[in-house]
Structure 1
Amino acid sequence: MPTPAQDAPIAPQPVISSRFAGGDEGYFTLVWRRFRRSVMGMIGLVLVVLMLVIAIFGDFFAPMDPNEANIGFAPPDSISFMNPDGSFSLRPEVYPIVETGEFDAVTFQPLTGPDLTNPTPLGFFVSGYSYKVLWLIPSNIHFFGAASPGHPFHLLGTDKFGRDILSRGIIGSRISLTIALVVVMLTTTVGTLVGISSGYLGGRIDAWTQRFVEFVLAFPQLPLYLALTTLIPITAPSNVFIAFVIGVMAVLGWAQLSREVRSKTLSLARIEYVRAAIAVGSGDFRIITRHILPNVLSHIIVAVTLAVPSVVLLESFLGFLGFAVKPPLISWGLMLQDTGSYSVIGSYPWILSPVVFVLITVFAFNALGDGLRDAIDPY
């Protein structure tokens, strides 16, 4: 005869989704799910992706030839949706800046002003100067520009040689971001290898390695940057000069990351699964690559995203002083050389436009780094 307990209906058991239990999700999936909740992190990710795309396809996005000279120190063109007769137009138009035929009474420079009688209509996917997509495929199509080829316009004005600042800023992102990414890649690789090896092996190797790291960190970096960059002749090719600058930045930039990675390795080397791997006879290389490096990787990723803005700022500063990039190459720091005097800034404030490119880059990578740090840190 069944008992009352046997007659009672069986309550359904709650079903726990693997999405919340984490059973079917990997580590990077969980990090991505946490990262998506960060608004600033997502904004930084979108900006970083856009900057990389614009840097790779810079000629496509640049509306003007960055080396074409027009009117020196011309102010930004005015954009209007109104026709000269006062009617509304769906297609935006710019009024080019031309010389008025008069001269400034103090500086004796020719005065410029908008040509209201000759508006330039804008459009997307228009023809312009010729270039090669990815340095291989010839093309002359640009993302936006003057609907009629041969009509110059300058949305951010021109520099002292009459070259378009917007186009030079877009093309200059290649050099600035390339220097930053290559330097960070080199410093991350060297700093990670030195830090993990020093922290795991310990003993005299760790002691001597850390004394060398302290020796590198003891140098005042800015005077050393300036001293080392002056060793290369001015007549050297631009590629050689960039390689030398990258090498100087990389040699002086790996030490801090190695200290951080070493401290992480010292704590991980005492964890049970690392001791168990040592007990079963695993080699040092296997322990470092399979057990320690994956646990240090999260800190390295965040350090990379936060190191890129520092290198961009350093390159801009060295370029402003004339120690980073030489013409005919273009970088944001080199463009800022025109802002060397207060009189120029006061008369032509639009030449500070490259600062906006630097600010956007620093903000994007810092926001991305903060979002990754919050997503990766389990606490």
Structure 2
Amino acid sequence: MAKKKKDAGRKSTAAAAAERMVMGGMPQEEQDDELMQSPFRMVVTSFIRDKIAMIGMCAFIFIFLCCMILPFFFPIQMNYQDVTQANVAPGFGMLDIPKALKDNALDIAAGSTFSVGIDKNGNVYEWGTFPTDKLKKIPSSSEMGKLTMISAGLDHVVAVNEDNQVFTWGNDRMGLASIPIELKTNTSPIKQISAGYQISLALTESGKLYNWGSTYLLSVSIPKEVQGNIAQFDDNPNIVMALTKDGEVVPLTNSTNSYTAVPEEIQGHTVDLALSDESAAAVTDDGRVYTWGNNVYGSMNVPEEIQGHVTSIEGGRYHFTVILDDGTAFTWGNDNFGQTDVPSFSGAVTDVTAGYYASYAIDENGHAEGWGLKGYLMGTDQLGRDVFRRLLVGGRMTMTVGFIAVIISTFIGVLVGGISGYKGGKIDNLLMRLTEIVSSIPFLPFCIILSSILGNSIDETQRIVLIMFILGLLSWPGIARLVRGSVLAEREQEFVTAAKALGVKEFGIILRHILPNIITVIIVNATLDFATCMLTESSLSFIGFGVTEPNATWGNMLNGAQNGQVIENYWWRWLFPSIAFGICTISINCVGDGLRDAIDPKSKER
């Protein structure tokens, strides 16, 4: 009798030890809570305790919310491209005027992605993102002397010193460094210069205009009666226009276009002239602004409140900046980069300049301020598109394609697997053979062949829908097999037998009794398939057979980074999309693994 009690005590002690091992050495209160938890709550609790899975879920939710919400605050135009902003490195230093120049500025000019300026002592300053390293090779002060004016273009700079000498540095293609002999020997003081789009111009006090650089992109034709009578000029990539000393606006071209349709009412009354890339503007002697050309981004929509108060005007790429008679600056037009957010000045503004996407103003105290494009968080691609904005939109597209494809594949897989596992017999055999046929189809070659056959016969929206359906229709065999195995195990349980005895219909048994018991397995598999579908879509887009330009996905963003030059010189074009895509897919897989371990704790041992 004593021996039996002793053995019972040993068994009780061993059982208690085993229970403590199962409960993970938790305190007694937690053990009691664990024993009282429902299966669902136990799964949730186990998942929450998995730190890797929780980190993965938080990372995925963060990326998901960024891609779904932020595009409303950072919208993009799908067909937008601007070669002047191509391959700009990440950073926000385009408007960071050097401290030595900020309160001692004489002249400032804004280029494509950089700016230059000179102080009252004639010293040169450069800042921003430089399109070419040649811009950093500024001639020495001993060579140039004291500069009096400066101008910045796409990727070169033109300057003039107090001895009327012209200097240029930066890109020297197409004759940009070949200053005309006539200008070098000119004795009349230079009053205006311009470093344009692959062209340079200089105007003397005698009214003569000189130009050099590319004659293929922009041909300048100066009538004899105009040459020697020019008071000022302005240029854009399409045309050069002159303002004569008697107030006439003259297009310096032999062709007819929207710029040549100069309003008759301004002829003889114009005191200032400016060009944006798509329109022209003139200030008349009564302080009013007249515009003509193409009204892109509202550049021709002159605010009524400034009419009659404008004294001078400058044009950027798609905006105009003016000085009003009360000494304030005002900007209208394109505001994608804050070009219209004019800062306040302590004194009256005496000079303004407008570049591609930025403007600068200098007040009577020599204090300079800039506004407009500060830079890009993740740089730009080969077409000048913001990588950050495209990353957000591309993530939304990639996730949407993957999500819809998973819904389609899960629905088909659950339906086929459920029927196959429950019915068995010939139906099971037939459906499993169909599953094997579908799973034997090589997915990527099939999509490539289909894309080549369809070619341009479908539009981009139809292509995206087709990709989603193909992904879904060819991805269901795996989940179908998994569901079939689970249903085969569940249909032999007592509750299924009881439901049959009560006369519950087969559809009801599958839907109400078997499916809830295998739903967690379906969720885990769908989560892992989501990452797989995203990878597949990105693979197709990467090799050029998925979602194509101008629509953005993480795959086709990486498509442009296939050559060594991009990888070496433009690292931001492939680094940020690959990081976002890698974190997203790894996070989804971590969540899937965490769910699997929470549902089936023995999977960790395997």
Q: Do these two structures clear the TM 0.5 threshold for a shared fold by scoring above it? A: yes
**Residue of structure 1 equivalent to 2:489:** 267
Question: Offset at 1:79?
Answer: 7.2
Question: Offset at 1:33?
Answer: 1.5
Q: In terms of Rg, which structure is larger? A: 2
**Residue of structure 2 equivalent to 1:35:** 47
1:357 aligned to 2:389?
no
Question: Offset at 1:366?
Answer: 0.9
Distance 1:75 1:18 in 2: 56
| Cα 1:195–1:104 shift into 2, 3 Å | farther
| Cα 1:149–1:286 shift into 2, 3 Å | farther
What SS does the aligned partner of 2:559 have?
helix
| Cα 1:20–1:204 shift into 2, 3 Å | same
| Structure 1 contact 187–250 (Cα < 8 Å) conserved | yes
Q: Which amino acid in 1 is paired with 2:33?
A: F
Query: Any idea what the Cα deviations from partners look like across 1:275-327, whole Å, max 9, x if unmatched?
Result: 22223322111110122101111111111111111111111111011111122
What SS does the aligned partner of 1:329 have?
coil
**Structure ranking higher in helix proportion:** 1
**Residue of structure 2 equivalent to 1:20:** 33
Q: How many residues align?
A: 320
1:369 aligned to 2:369?
no
**Residue of structure 2 equivalent to 1:58:** 70
Query: Any idea what the Cα deviations from partners look like across 1:38-62, whole Å, max 9, x if unmatched?
Result: 1111111112221221122132453
Distance 1:17 1:360 in 2: 34
| Structure 1 contact 65–167 (Cα < 8 Å) conserved | no
TM-score computed with the length of structure 1 as normaliser: 0.76
**Residue of structure 1 equivalent to 2:418:** 196
Q: 2:480 aligns with which of 233, 258, 267?
A: 258
Question: Offset at 1:337?
Answer: 1.7
1:303 aligned to 2:303?
no
| Cα 1:21–1:308 shift into 2, 3 Å | closer
| Structure 1 contact 217–255 (Cα < 8 Å) conserved | yes
Aligned Cα root-mean-square deviation (Å) = 3.1
1:162 aligned to 2:384?
yes
TM-score computed with the length of structure 2 as normaliser: 0.49
- Which runs of 5 or more residues in structure 2 are unaligned? 1-27, 101-113, 115-126, 136-155, 157-169, 174-196, 198-334, 338-357, 359-369
Question: Offset at 1:252?
Answer: 0.8
Deviates more, 1:148-157 or 1:314-323: 148-157
| Structure 1 contact 325–331 (Cα < 8 Å) conserved | yes
Q: 2:373 aligns with which of 144, 151, 159?
A: 151
Q: Which amino acid in 1 is paired with 2:584?
A: T
Query: Any idea what the Cα deviations from partners look like across 1:75-115, whole Å, max 9, x if unmatched?
Result: 222679x99559xxxxxxx974143333499xxxx9xxxxx
| Cα 1:56–1:19 shift into 2, 3 Å | farther
Query: Any idea what the Cα deviations from partners look like across 1:142-198, whole Å, max 9, x if unmatched?
Result: xxxx9x873141222211111111111011111100001000111011101110110
What SS does the aligned partner of 1:158 have?
coil
Q: Which amino acid in 2 is paired with 1:347?
A: N
Question: Offset at 1:34?
Answer: 1.4
Q: 2:541 aligns with which of 311, 319, 324?
A: 319
Q: Which amino acid in 1 is paired with 2:443?
A: Q
What SS does the aligned partner of 1:162 have?
coil
- Which runs of 5 or more residues in structure 1 are unaligned? 1-14, 87-93, 111-127, 131-145
| Structure 1 contact 229–245 (Cα < 8 Å) conserved | no
| Structure 2 contact 34–42 (Cα < 8 Å) conserved | no
**Residue of structure 2 equivalent to 1:341:** 563
Q: Which amino acid in 2 is paired with 1:47?
A: A
Distance 1:324 1:19 in 2: 54
**Residue of structure 1 equivalent to 2:89:** 75
Distance 1:377 1:246 in 2: 31
Distance 1:204 1:64 in 2: 55
Deviates more, 1:233-242 or 1:207-216: 233-242
**Residue of structure 1 equivalent to 2:513:** 291
| Structure 1 contact 75–350 (Cα < 8 Å) conserved | yes
